């Protein structure tokens, strides 16, 4: 299977290229006001689309590398600031959350009281 897989993949790409370049009458590329159709339009469309995807992939790769370098140092500070903001927001919302937190505290107390292991006295 390992020997035939590359041959099958190459054959499928060849069939796809044959389909694109043999019957390209439906492809129409408008570039700078000029209309290109037929095989030249197919080649230009393939070239420009592939170039755009390649440039987009390279930009995403470089942005990811820059963010990894920047956030390696700033990440710890950022996480600490986010945790502090979460605590401040929770403290500010606490009076509004009191009707919800009282039943939750009672349930928590009952469950923790039930699960306590009593020491065995010998």
The stretch 100-108 carries a mean pLDDT of 77
Residue 30 has pLDDT above 80, yes or no: no
pTM for the structure as a whole? 0.34
Residue 25 within any structural domain of the chain? yes
In a domain, 119, yes or no: no
Q: Is 29 helix (H, G, I), strand (E, B) or coil?
A: strand
- Specify the 3-state DSSP secondary structure of 19: helix
76 domain-assigned: yes
What does the pLDDT read at residue 11? 92
More confidently predicted of 9 and 74: 9
| 115 has pLDDT over 70 | no
**Is residue 92 scored above 70 in pLDDT?**
yes
Please say if the pLDDT value at position 24 is more than 60.
no
> Is residue 100 situated within a structural domain?
yes
Q: What is the radius of gyration, based on Cα positions, of the chain? A: 32
pLDDT digits (tens, 9 = 90+) for 44-66: 777 777 777 788 888 888 888 88
What is the tally of structural domains in the chain? 1
The pairs formed by 4-11 with CB atoms below 8 angstroms and a separation of 24 or more are: none
Structural domain of residue 56, as residue ranges?
5-114
Residue 101 in domain: yes
> Is 121 a member of any domain?
no
């Amino acid at each position: 299977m390992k020997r035939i897989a590359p041959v099958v993949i190459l054959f499928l790409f060849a069939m796809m290229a044959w389909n694109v370049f043999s019957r390209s009458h439906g492809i129409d590329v408008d570039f700078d006001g000029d209309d290109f159709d037929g095989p030249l339009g197919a080649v230009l469309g393939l070239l420009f689309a592939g170039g755009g995807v390649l440039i987009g992939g390279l930009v995403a790769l470089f942005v990811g590398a820059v963010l990894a370098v920047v956030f390696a140092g700033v990440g710890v500070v950022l996480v600490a600031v986010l945790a502090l903001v979460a605590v401040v927001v929770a403290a500010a919302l606490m009076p509004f959350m009191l009707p919800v937190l009282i039943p939750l505290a009672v349930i928590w107390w009952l469950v923790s009281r039930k699960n306590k292991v009593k020491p065995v006295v010998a």
